[in-house]
Amino acid sequence: MTETITLSTGQKMPLVGLGTWKSAPGQVKQAVLAALDCGYRHIDCAAAYGNEREVGEALTEQLGPGKSLRREDIFVTSKLWNTKHHPDDVEEACKRSLSDLRLCYLDLYLMHWPMAFERGDELMPRHPDGTIRYDDTHYRDTWAAMEKLVDQGLVKAIGLSNFNARQTDDILSVAKHKPVVNQMECHPYLVQSKLVSHCWSRGLTVTAYSPLGSPDRPWVTPGQARLLDDPRVVGMAKHYNKSPAQVINRWHIQRGVICIPKSVTPSRIKQNIEVFDFKLSDEDMRLIESFNRNERLIVPTIMKDGQKVWRDAGHPHFPFS
Q: Which residues are catalytic?
A: 49
CB-count exposure of residue 75 (10 Å: 0-12, 13-18, 19+): buried
We find the least distance from the C-beta atom of residue 219 to ligand A2P, in angstroms, to be 13
**225 Cβ contact list (under 8 Å, min separation 6):** none
Minimum gap (Å) between residue 297 Cβ and ligand A2P? 9
Query: Inter-axis angle of helices 139-152 and 87-101, to 10 degrees?
Result: 50
Q: Select the residue interacting with ligand A2P from 36, 158, 212, 275 (CB under 6 A).
A: 212
* Nearest to ligand A2P of 14, 261 (CB atom): 261
Dihedral pair phi/psi, residue 275, rounded to 5°: -130, 15
Residue 161 is a binding residue for ligand A2P (CB under 6 A): no
How many residues bind ligand A2P (CB under 6 A)? The answer is 19
Q: What secondary structure letter does DSSP report for 230?
A: -
User: Closer to ligand A2P at the Cβ: 190 or 212?
Assistant: 212
CB of 301 to ligand A2P, least distance (A): 18
Residue 211 contacts ligand A2P per CB under 6 A: yes
Residue 77 interacting with ligand A2P (CB under 6 A): no
Q: How far is the CB of 181 from ligand A2P (least distance, A)?
A: 17
Q: Which one of 83, 179, 214, 318 is in contact with ligand A2P (CB under 6 A)?
A: 214
With b meaning 16 or more CB within 10 Å and e meaning fewer, what string describes 95-118?
ebbbebbbbebbbbbbbbbbbbbe
Q: Using CB under 6 A, which of 28, 52, 263, 280 touches ligand A2P?
A: 263
209 and 19 Cβ atoms separated by less than 8 Å: yes
Please choose, out of 36-44, 172-180, 264-272, 279-287, the segment that lies near ligand A2P by the rule CB under 6 A. Answer: 264-272
Please state whether beta strands 258-259 and 205-209 pair in parallel, antiparallel, or not at all (unpaired).
Answer: parallel
Site for ligand A2P in 217-256 (CB under 6 A): 228, 243, 245
Residues of span 18-57 touching ligand A2P by CB under 6 A: 19
| Strand-pair partners of 161 | 183
Among 74, 271, 273, 288, binds ligand A2P (CB under 6 A): 271
Q: Which residues contact 38 (CB under 8 A, 6 or more apart)?
A: 269, 270, 273
Residue 162 makes contact with ligand A2P by CB under 6 A: no
For residue 18, give every residue at least 6 positions away whose Cβ sits within 8 Å of its Cβ, in sequence order, or none: 31, 32, 35, 40, 42, 43, 44, 260, 261, 262, 263, 269
Residue closer to ligand A2P, measured from CB, 78 or 271: 271
Cβ pair 76, 46 in contact under 8 A: no
Question: CB 233 → ligand A2P: shortest distance, Å?
Answer: 11
Q: State the nearest-atom distance from the C-beta of 73 to ligand A2P, in Å.
A: 23
Which one of residues 57, 118, 141, 216 is an interface residue with ligand A2P (CB under 6 A)? 216
207 near ligand A2P, judged by CB under 6 A: no
Q: Does the footprint of ligand A2P cover residue 287 (CB under 6 A)?
A: no
**What value does the CA radius of gyration of the chain take, rounded to a whole number of Å?**
19
> How does DSSP classify residue 158?
E
Instruction: Find the shortest distance in angstroms from Cβ 208 to ligand A2P.
Output: 9
Spatial distance between the Cα atoms of 37 and 104, rounded to a whole number of angstroms:
22
Residues that bind ligand A2P (CB under 6 A): 19, 210-216, 228, 243, 245, 261-265, 268, 271-272
